[in-house]
Amino acid sequence: GAVVSQHPSRVICKSGTSVKIECRSLDFQATTMFWYRQFPKQSLMLMATSNEGSKATYEQGVEKDKFLINHASLTLSTLTVTSAHPEDSSFYICSARDSETSGIGDTQYFGPGTRLTVL
Amino acid sequence: AQKVTQAQTEISVVEKEDVTLDCVYETRDTTYYLFWYKQPPSGELVFLIRRNSFDEQNEISGRYSWNFQKSTSSFNFTITASQVVDSAVYFCALSEARTGGFKTIFGAGTRLFVKA
């Protein structure tokens, strides 16, 4: 099946630093990728939709200047948490839609997640 | 607005018991997709099933079965003869079309504990 990877799987950083998380579709092309955030024992909340070659679409309440998304190729989207603070500590999950099958429904493949801890 | 309700926060069963996880959704669209995902302690989401709004056939896959009822806007998930390895958080999700693609909304999740 389709595989989505995320790197790093876990990151600990100091408050005020920026952290970049990569999301890659390994064996398919993805014109659309999604970024979710999950706090402990809570559900996944969609942060933004990342479209290859264009600006990301952010959900209401998500600061686009704080969570920078770049989708420069059909297999890679990056999420940069700028000037991270302890309240940004969370589990970040990306997903990708297979461009080949997007016409038959919303087939999303999820990455394994990145656990961010900001000290 | 779309919404997914999983009223059961936590369920605890003993191995070999059957357990049903409830999911109720709200949408104004006639075309939409429903999903169930499993999230084990490792955190990675595991896709279990996708159902489109025009297919109300119930489905069985091994010990898993799903009951889709449009009349009650429910998409319930039953695990038969539960096993300890079934312990995880299970999410029901709804995707519907919107400008530029689809948006997926997840329910709050149901944490299932299966005791040996």
Q: Contact A82/A116 with Cβ under 8 angstroms?
A: no
Q: Give the mean model confidence (pLDDT) for residues A94-102.
A: 77
Q: Which of A43, A110, A111 sits opposite B109 (nearest CB)?
A: A43
Query: CB contact, 8 Å: B102 with chain A?
Result: yes
Q: What is the pLDDT of residues B64-84, one digit of tens each?
A: 999 999 999 999 999 999 999
* Helix%, strand%, coil% for chain B, nearest 5: 5, 60, 35
Question: Under an 8 A CB cutoff, do A106 and B106 touch?
Answer: no
Contacts of B33 in chain A (CB under 8 A): 105-106
On the question of pLDDT at A57 being above 70, the answer is yes
Question: Under an 8 A CB cutoff, do A43 and B108 touch?
Answer: yes
Question: Under an 8 A CB cutoff, do A49 and B100 touch?
Answer: yes
- Count other C-beta atoms under 10 Å from residue A93's C-beta: 25
Question: Under an 8 A CB cutoff, do B43 and A34 touch?
Answer: no
A44 min Cα distance to partner chain B (Å): 6
Size of interface A-B (CB pairs under 8 A): 53
pLDDT tier, B86 (very low <50, low <70, confident <90, very high otherwise)? very high
| Residue-by-residue DSSP string for A75-98 | TEEEEEE-S--GGG-EEEEEEEE-
Q: What is the pLDDT of residues B38-59, one digit of tens each?
A: 999 988 899 899 888 888 888 8
Report how many helices (DSSP H) and strands (DSSP E) chain B contains, helices first.
Answer: 0, 12
CA–CA distance, A106 with A49 (Å, rounded to integer): 13
- Point out the least confidently predicted range of A9-18, A46-55, A102-111, B73-82: A102-111
CA–CA distance, B37 with A16 (Å, rounded to integer): 34
CA–CA distance, B61 with B77 (Å, rounded to integer): 11
Of all residues in chain B, the percent with pLDDT exceeding 70 is 95
A20-24, B43-47, B57-61, B97-101 — most confident range: A20-24
In the prediction, which pLDDT does B56 show?
A: 84
A97 min Cα distance to partner chain B (Å): 10
B88 min Cα distance to partner chain A (Å): 11
Amino acid identity, position B66:
W
pLDDT tier, B100 (very low <50, low <70, confident <90, very high otherwise)? low
Q: Coil, strand or helix: which one is B84?
A: helix
Nearest of A13, A11, A22, A15 to residue A80 by alpha carbon:
A22
Query: CB contact, 8 Å: B98 with chain A?
Result: no
